[in-house]
Amino acid sequence: MDSTLISTRPDEGTLSLSRARRAALGSFAGAVVDWYDFLLYGITAALVFNREFFPQVSPAMGTLAAFATFGVGFLFRPLGGVIFGHFGDRLGRKRMLMLTVWMMGIATALIGILPSFSTIGWWAPILLVTLRVIQGFAVGGEWGGAALLSVESAPKNKKAFYSSGVQVGYGVGLLLSTGLVSLISMMTTDEQFLSWGWRIPFLFSIVLVLGALWVRNGMEESAEFEQQQHYQAAAKKRIPVIEALLRHPGAFLKIIALRLCELLTMYIVTAFALNYSTQNMGLPRELFLNIGLLVGGLSCLTIPCFAWLADRFGRRRVYITGALIGTLSAFPFFMA
């Protein structure tokens, strides 16, 4: 059985370069949408949501409540990853990735037309949390599925580079979300921004969704997934996350810990720092939004470079280097 499985799996020579490029482009396009929507929520939570959806409590408690709704999305990301991963293994990565983009786009657009607390009372924060749950669920399925499709489709010696588009999508999403909020903030008064200006970036998500769906429609399933269908029936079926945990418990838990470290650093920079600088240090929001633009632009350049280094020198060395840089930069960041 083992020799049959090994012989039927596609080797590097059977992997189509054009298929790999389409997979990388489609994964990147969807990642832009999902990260744009996910990060946009964090930016507006820091600037708007405490006053629009939690005005009945003190400013400090309103800020905590706004960031609590932001955190809800993280709670549902693992669930989205498990469920979409399960059906992705059964029905195909492409189908699930099309669905995650739809879910994220619809939830984000609905936030853009959601009435505030002054209009519908406590229904406003309840609906906001519900839509945030959908966002978290969708991005959980998006990231894993897009990265997996890119890796499966990529040439053997360039898997990190081809799959880096998923993370470059984060940088572009940060650029778009921060840039659009910054532009609207400069073109409106504070009253206009709080009333309707912040809603425009959420509605703009519809345009990004349509573009991502068009790009993803040209993707194909990876050759590895297609070949897998031939022997899947003979294998004992388990829920993928349980199978991974049973077979590789140590690696499974290490990956979770590594991702938590990365995400903590990322959202301290993009969400917490924005709120702290405007609310406690009195800095203009446009200044820190422009800093966010710089961060997003730099990440679009550095992520492919580090991915290339990972293909050349190994993932472990590159990750440790990045972790050390992030750890050391925390000291001047909080001393500023």
Amino acid at 219: M
Cα distances (angstroms) measured from residue 181 to each of 39, 41, 48, 136? 11, 11, 11, 21
Instruction: Write down the pLDDT at residue 289.
Output: 73
Residue 8 lies in a domain: no
Using pLDDT thresholds of 50, 70 and 90, give the confidence band for residue 7: very low
Under 8 Å between Cβ of 296 and 175:
yes
Quick: pLDDT tens for 277-312.
Answer: 777 777 777 777 777 788 788 888 988 999 999 999
**Residue 58, phi-psi category: left (phi > 0), alpha (psi -120 to 50), beta (remainder):** beta
- Distance between CA atoms of residues 98 and 149, nearest Å: 13
* Lookup: tokens for 158: 């360039």
Residue 10 lies in a domain: no
Picking from 120, 289, 331, 327, the residue whose alpha carbon sits closest to that of residue 197 is: 289
Residue 3 lies in a domain: no
Quick: pLDDT tens for 25-46.
Answer: 888 998 898 889 888 988 888 7
CATH number of the domain residue 55 falls in: 1.20.1250.20
What is the maximum span of the chain, computed from C-alpha positions, in angstroms? Answer: 69
- Distance between CA atoms of residues 32 and 235, nearest Å: 36
Positive or negative, the CA dihedral 211, 212, 213, 216 is: positive
Residue 2 lies in a domain: no
- Distance between CA atoms of residues 187 and 183, nearest Å: 6
Q: Is the pLDDT reported for residue 142 higher than 80?
A: yes
Instruction: Write down the pLDDT at residue 3.
Output: 40
Residue with token string 């504070």? 190
Specify which of 54-63, 147-156, 188-197 reaches the highest per-range mean pLDDT. Answer: 188-197
DSSP letters spanning 38-50:
HHHHHHHIIIIIH
Residue 9 lies in a domain: no
Q: Is the pLDDT reported for residue 127 higher than 60?
A: yes
Residue 324 lies in a domain: yes
Residue 20 lies in a domain: yes
Under 8 Å between Cβ of 289 and 186:
no
Quick: pLDDT tens for 172-198.
Answer: 988 899 889 989 988 998 889 988 999
Residue 5 lies in a domain: no
Range of the domain at 75: 16-221+228-335
Under 8 Å between Cβ of 136 and 66:
no
Query: How many domains does the chain contain in total?
Result: 1
